[in-house]
Amino acid sequence: MKINNLVLQTVTKIIVFLIFLYSVDLFFAGHYTPGGGFVGGLMTSGAIVLLLLAYDLKTVRKIFPVNFIYVTALGLFISFSTGMIGIFADKPFLTHFFHKHVHLPIIGETSLHTAALFDLGVFLVVVGVTMTIIQTIGEDD
Amino acid sequence: MSILHWVVLAPFLYAIIIPILFTYMKRVHTGWFILPLPFLLFIYFCSKIPTTSQLQTDVFTLTWIPSIGIDFSLMLDGLGMLFSLLITGIGTLVILYSIFYLDKAKEKLNQFYVYLLLFMGAMLGIVLSDNLIVLYMFWEITSISSFLLIGFWNNRRNSRNGAIKSMVITVFGGLSLLAGIILLYLMTGTFQISEIIASVQQNSIMTDPLFILAMICVLLGAFTKSAQFPFHIWLPDAMEAPTPVSAYLHSATMVKAGIYLVARLSPVFAVSGYWLWLVSIVGIVTLIYGSFFAIKQTDLKGILAYSTISQLGMIMSLLGIGAAGVHYESETTYYIATAAAVFHLLNHATFKGSLFMVVGIIDHETGTRDIRRLSGLMQVMPITFTISIIGAFSMAGLPPFNGFLSKEMFFASMLNILEFNLFNMQTWGLLLPIIAWIGSIFTFVYSMILVFKPFAGAFKPEKLATKPHEAPIGMLISPIILVSLVIVIGLFPDLVANTILSPAISSIYGGGSYDLHIYHWHGFQPELFMTIGVILAGILLYKTREKWTTIYRVFPTILNRLYDILRFKTEGSFNSLTNRYMVGSLRTYLIYIFSFFVFILLLTMILKDGFTSDLSNLAPIGAYEIGLSFVLIIATISILFAKSRLTSIILLGAVGYTVSLFYVVFRAPDLALTQLVIETVSVALFLLCFYHLPKNARKKESIPFKLSNAIVSILVGLVVMLIAISSYSNKLFGSIAEFYVENTYKKAAGENMVNVILVDFRGFDTLFEIAVLAIASIGIFTMIKLRMGGKKSENK
C-alpha cells in the first residue's frame, strides 16, 4: 500500500523526537521521580514503532542499522557487569556506589550512581526485546 | 581381603576375561578355559572341610559401607560348606558337560560362560555372606544371571517368555526379601546374620509387632526362589534354557537358594509356631502338587521340572518340621528332620543333576524330548540308560541308592511329628505323613515313567528326526561321576554324615555337634513299611496309568492362567485406565488441576477452620474505587459473553486500562505507566494473532456453556477470595516498608522508592527479569525464523 502518507510522515518526523526526548527524560528521572529504565525503554521502542508505522521496515532499518538482538545482549551485559563492580570492590554482588554532589562541566552539580548504569542495561534490554519481537513478527509472512 | 573373598570374587573377575579368550582363542572351546576355575574352588572348599567339621566358623570382614552397617563379610560354616561344595562341584561337572553339549561354532559361548560364571559367583556369595544386604545383592545377581541364561536362545519366543516369567516372580520375591531384611534390621539393629542370631537368643524378638511381617517377607523371598507352591510356575517354563543351565541352576543350585535362606534364618524365626506351620505346609503342598503334576507332563524336562518342585517341597517341609528342634534341646528325634533335609539336599543335587544331563543327551542324540515319540533307546544308549535308571531309582527312593536313605529319614521325621506336643501337632499333624506318603507314590510313578518310557519298549527310529546313537564320552563323564556319587553315598553314607552333614545341622541350630549315623537297615520300623507300600502302590499306579491319567483333564492350569491374566490383562486394563484419564485434551487437564487446587485448599480451610474475617483493618472506600470496580466487573463479565473474538480483545484492553487507572488511584505512578504501555503492546499483539486466524474461526459464536467449567471456575474464584480475605484478616506482623521509606535517600541516593527497590535494594530480581525478557524475545525470534525442516517433514 503506497498511499501518500504525507501528513502522517511529517507529523511523525516531529513527534518521534518528542517521544524520544520524553523517554530519555523518563529514564534519567527514574531515580527521583516516576520512570526508569523499563518505561523509558518501552517509550523509545514506541518511537521506533511509530516510525515503522509511518514508513516501512526497510526504511527504519536504514535509519537504525542495528540488530536488536545485540542490543538485548549488550543490555544484559551492562546490567551484569554493573553487578560485578561490587564483587571487584570486595562487596556483595550488585552493590551500588554513588556520589551525591559532583561538579561536572556543562551539566553542573549532579549526582552519579552506578544504579543508573544498571538501569541503562534494563533500558537497552527492553528496547532490544520489544523491537526484536515487533520486527520478527512484522517481517513474517 | 581374605582368601574367601577372593574365592567369591574369582568368578566375577574371571568373567571379565572370557570374551577376550573367546575372541582370540577361536580354536579351543571356551569351556576348557572355564573348567579349572570351579575345580580349583572345589579343591579349596574340600581343603576346608576339616575346619568346618570341627565346627569352627571363620568370619572375614571387608569394610564396604560402614556408615550404615553394610560390610562385605563372609563366613564359612557347615551349611555354607555344604552349599559351596554343591555349587563348585556340580559347577565343574556342568561346565565339562556343556563343553560337549554346546557347539563352539554355532553358540555364543562367550555370553554363555560369562552368565554362568556370574551366576556361580553370586551363588557362592549368597551361601557364604554373613551380611544380609550383601546376601540380597548376590540374590538379585542370581536372578539376573538366571534370566539371562534362560533367555540364552533369545530368538525363541518361549525362551523369552520363560525368562521374563522367572524374572518377574523371583524379583518379586527378592524385593519382598529386601523388605524382610530391613524389618529384621529394624528389630535387631544389625545386618550381620551372626549378630542377629546372637541378639535373638539374648532377647526374644518374637513379641515384636514386626516379627510376623518380617517372617512372611523373608518366606516370600525363599518360596519364590525355591519354586514353592504357588510360585512354582516359573520353573517348568525355565526349562527352555540350555540343558546344562537347567541341570545347574534349576536343579542343584539356584532353586536351593530359598532352602538355604530358610535354613540360615531358622535360628531367628524357628521359635515361632507360624514358621513351623508355614514352612512345612507350603513344603508339603508343593511336594504333592509337584509330584502329581509331574505325571501329566510329556516333555522329559517338564517331568524333571515338576519333580524338582516336588523334591524342593519335600526339603522345605523337612526344614519346617526341623524347626521344632529348637524347642527340644538334646533330643535326637527332633533334629532328624533337619538331618533329612540337608541329606536330601545333597542327594537331590546328585541324582537330579545326572538326570538332567541324561535328558540333555537324549535330546541331543534323538532331537526330541517328547516321551510319546521316544521308546526303546535302551538298545542304542546302554550307558545313558544305566545312568538314568540309577538316578531315577534314587529319586523314587529305592535301595541301595542315597534317595532311599533320605526318603526313609523323611518318613521317620514325618512320623515323629505325631509325638510333638506343641502347636497342635498331635491332632492335625497326622495329615502330614499321609500327604507325604501319597506324594512319594506319585514320585515313584513319574520316576518310572522317566526311565521306562524312553528306554524300554520297542525301538522306533522312524519317529525320530536323527538316527540315535550313544553319546560321546565327554558328555557321559559328568553324569557318570554324579551317579557314582549316588551309589557311593548310598552305600557309605557315613562318608558325608559327620564330615559335611552334621556341621551343616549344627550351623542351622547352633550349639554343639550332632552325632549323625545313617543306616540302610534299622529294623522293621514303620518307615520301612511305608516304603514298601510306596513301591507296591507305585507299581500298581504305573501299570494302570492309562486308565487314570484322564483325570488330568479335570485340573485346569489355573496358576499359569492367573499369571497370564496378571501379566497381560492387567497391562491392558492399566493401558485403558491411563487412556481414560490421560485424554490428551488440555481442557480436561486444566479441570483436574483446578479441581485439585480447589479440593486441597477447601479441605485445608475446613479442617483447620481457617476462615476468618477481620473488618477492623479496612480502609475507607472512595467514589473512584467504586466507579472503577464497576467498570472492571462489567468488562470482565462481558468478556465471558462476547460473541466475537474482537470484542473480547477490546474488552481485555479495557480491563487492562482500568487496572492502570486503579494504579493511579492507589498512587502507583510507575506501575500505571508501565501497565498502560504494556497493555497497549499486548492488545496490539492480540490483534495480530486475531488477523492471522483462519477466516471461519474469526466469527465464532460465544463461548459454549459447560456446567463443569462454570462450577470449577466459580469455585476457584470463591476459594481464592476466601483465602485473600482470611489472610488479610490475619496479618501477623507489620510491614518492612519502613526501612525503605527511611533509607531510600540516605543509603541509596534516590527518591523514587519503587525504582530504588528495583535497581538497588532488590536489583537481583530485575537482573533476571530482563533475562526472562531476553529469552522470550529470542524464543519468538527462533520460533518464527527457524522453521528448519518443518515443511519437509510434512511432505514425508
Q: Tens of pLDDT along A38-95?
A: 999 999 998 998 888 888 888 888 888 889 999 999 999 999 998 888 888 888 888 8
Q: Between B749, B776, B785, which is nearest A100 by CB?
A: B749
Q: Quick one: which H or E segment has residue B63?
A: strand B58-65
Q: Between B685, B767, B778, which is nearest A69 by CB?
A: B778
Angle at B531 between CA B528 and CA B534, to 5 degrees: 155
Residue of B nearest to A73 (CA): B774
DSSP-assigned letter for residue B241: S
Q: Quick count: other Cβ atoms within 10 Å of Cβ B748?
A: 21
Are the Cβ atoms of A72 and B777 closer than 8 angstroms?
Answer: yes
pLDDT in tens, B138-150: 999 999 999 999 9
Are the Cβ atoms of A73 and B781 closer than 8 angstroms?
Answer: no
For CA atoms B692, B694, B699, B702, the dihedral sign is negative
Q: Quick count: other Cβ atoms within 10 Å of Cβ B688?
A: 13
Q: CB under 8 Å to B417, separation ≥6 — which residues?
A: B321, B324, B425, B429, B432, B433
Inter-axis angle of helices B36-47 and B3-24, to 10 degrees?
A: 170
Give the mean model confidence (pLDDT) for residues B646-653. Answer: 90
Chain B residues within 8 A of A100 when measuring between CB atoms? 749
Q: Does B84 have pLDDT greater than 50? A: yes
pLDDT at B768: 93
Residue of A nearest to B680 (CA): A46
pLDDT at A17: 94
What is the nearest CA distance from B721 to chain A, expressed in angstroms?
Answer: 32
pLDDT at B790: 54
Q: What is the mean pLDDT of chain B?
A: 85
Are the Cβ atoms of B756 and A129 closer than 8 angstroms?
Answer: no
The residue type at B552: Y
Q: Does B715 have pLDDT greater than 80? A: yes
CB-based contact B770:A79 (threshold 8 Å): yes
**Cα gap B661→B655, rounded to integer Å:** 10
B785 touching A (Cβ < 8 Å): yes
Chain A residues within 8 A of B759 when measuring between CB atoms? 36-37, 96, 115, 118-119, 122
pLDDT in tens, B320-338: 888 777 666 555 666 778 8
Strand ranges in chain A using DSSP code E only, listed in sequence order: 98-104, 108-113
What is the nearest CA distance from A106 to chain B, expressed in angstroms?
Answer: 22
The residue type at B679: E
Chain B residues within 8 A of A96 when measuring between CB atoms? 748, 759-760, 763
C-alpha cell recorded at residue A100: 551525591
C-alpha cell recorded at residue B425: 501337632
Q: B333-338 — which CB contacts under 8 Å span 24+ positions?
A: B333/B416, B333/B419, B334/B416, B334/B420, B335/B505, B335/B509, B335/B514, B336/B409, B336/B412, B336/B413, B336/B416, B337/B413, B337/B416, B338/B263, B338/B505, B338/B508, B338/B509
**Mutation to test the B interface, candidates A25, A31, A45, most B Cβ within 10 Å:** A31
What is the nearest CA distance from A76 to chain B, expressed in angstroms?
Answer: 7
What is the nearest CA distance from A118 to chain B, expressed in angstroms?
Answer: 7
Chain B residues within 8 A of A39 when measuring between CB atoms? 670, 673-674, 677
What is the nearest CA distance from A31 to chain B, expressed in angstroms?
Answer: 5
Confidence of residue B471 (pLDDT cuts 50, 70, 90): confident
pLDDT at B328: 63
Give the mean model confidence (pLDDT) for residues B482-499. Answer: 84
Chain B residues within 8 A of A115 when measuring between CB atoms? 748, 750, 756, 759-760, 763
Q: Between A31, A122, A129, which is nearest B752 by CB?
A: A31
pLDDT at B794: 46
Q: Does B717 have pLDDT greater than 90? A: yes
C-alpha cell recorded at residue B394: 534314587
pLDDT at A53: 85
- Written in H, E and C, the secondary structure of B489-532 is HHHCCHHHHHHHHHHHHHHHHCCCCCCCCCCCCCCCCHHHHHHH
Confidence of residue A111 (pLDDT cuts 50, 70, 90): confident
**Mutation to test the A interface, candidates B675, B751, B777, most A Cβ within 10 Å:** B777
Q: Between B678, B749, B764, which is nearest A98 by CB?
A: B749
Size of interface A-B (CB pairs under 8 A): 122
DSSP-assigned letter for residue B28: S
Give the mean model confidence (pLDDT) for residues B296-310. Answer: 88
A90 touching B (Cβ < 8 Å): no
Cα-Cα-Cα-Cα dihedral of B542, B547, B548, B553, to 10°? Answer: 130
**Cα gap B44→B50, rounded to integer Å:** 12
CB-based contact B347:B406 (threshold 8 Å): yes
Q: Does B497 have pLDDT greater than 90? A: no
Q: CB under 8 Å to B17, separation ≥6 — which residues?
A: none
Q: Quick one: which H or E segment has residue B76?
A: strand B70-76
DSSP B388-426: HHHHHHHHHT-TTSHHHHHHHHHHHHHHHGGG--STTHH
Residues listed for chain B: 796
Are the Cβ atoms of B759 and A119 closer than 8 angstroms?
Answer: yes
B186 touching A (Cβ < 8 Å): no
pLDDT at B796: 39
What does residue B129 show for φ and ψ, rounded to 5 degrees? -80, 145
Three-state secondary-structure class, residue B373? coil
Q: CB under 8 Å to B130, separation ≥6 — which residues?
A: B59, B61, B73, B74, B75, B192, B193, B194
Q: Quick count: other Cβ atoms within 10 Å of Cβ B40?
A: 14
Between strands B58-65 and A98-104, the pairing is: unpaired
Which 756-775 residues of chain B touch chain A by CB within 8 A? 756, 758-760, 763-764, 766-767, 770-771, 773-774
Which of the residue ranges B56-60, B225-229, B457-461 would you say has the lowest mean pLDDT?
B457-461
Three-state secondary-structure class, residue A98? strand
What does residue B565 show for φ and ψ, rounded to 5 degrees? -60, -45
CB-based contact B403:B411 (threshold 8 Å): no
Q: What percent of chain A has pLDDT over 70?
A: 97
Residue of B nearest to A134 (CA): B685
Are the Cβ atoms of B670 and A130 closer than 8 angstroms?
Answer: no
A96 touching B (Cβ < 8 Å): yes
Q: B788-796 — which CB contacts under 8 Å span 24+ positions?
A: none
Residue of A nearest to B751 (CA): A32
Are the Cβ atoms of A94 and B670 closer than 8 angstroms?
Answer: no
Residue of B nearest to A137 (CA): B784
pLDDT in tens, B382-428: 888 888 889 888 888 887 788 888 888 888 888 877 776 666 656 66
CB-based contact B533:B437 (threshold 8 Å): yes
What is the nearest CA distance from A33 to chain B, expressed in angstroms?
Answer: 5
Residue of A nearest to B781 (CA): A136
Of B402, B395, B391, B346, the C-alpha closest to B519 is: B402
Q: What is the mean pLDDT of chain A?
A: 87
CB-based contact B289:B229 (threshold 8 Å): yes
Which 44-73 residues of chain A touch chain B by CB within 8 A? 46, 69, 72-73
Are the Cβ atoms of A125 and B681 closer than 8 angstroms?
Answer: no
Residues listed for chain A: 141
A41 touching B (Cβ < 8 Å): no
Chain B residues within 8 A of A33 when measuring between CB atoms? 751-752
Q: Quick one: which H or E segment has residue B591?
A: helix B586-607
pLDDT at B147: 92
**Cα gap B407→B405, rounded to integer Å:** 5
Are the Cβ atoms of A76 and B774 closer than 8 angstroms?
Answer: yes
**Mutation to test the A interface, candidates B691, B752, B755, B769, most A Cβ within 10 Å:** B755
Give the mean model confidence (pLDDT) for residues B758-767. Answer: 90
A117 touching B (Cβ < 8 Å): no
Three-state secondary-structure class, residue B39? helix
Of B156, B317, B306, B325, the C-alpha closest to B240 is: B156
Of B255, B499, B520, B260, the C-alpha closest to B397 is: B520
Chain A residues within 8 A of B755 when measuring between CB atoms? 30-31, 35-36, 119
Are the Cβ atoms of A36 and B770 closer than 8 angstroms?
Answer: no
The residue type at B360: G
Are the Cβ atoms of A80 and B767 closer than 8 angstroms?
Answer: yes
Angle at B173 between CA B359 and CA B65, to 5 degrees: 115
Chain B residues within 8 A of A43 when measuring between CB atoms? 677
pLDDT at B699: 60
Q: Between B749, B774, B780, which is nearest A125 by CB?
A: B774
**Cα gap B559→B550, rounded to integer Å:** 20
Are the Cβ atoms of B759 and A125 closer than 8 angstroms?
Answer: no
B674 touching A (Cβ < 8 Å): yes
Chain A residues within 8 A of B756 when measuring between CB atoms? 31, 115
Residue B433: asked if its preceding bond is cis (omega within 30°), the reply is no
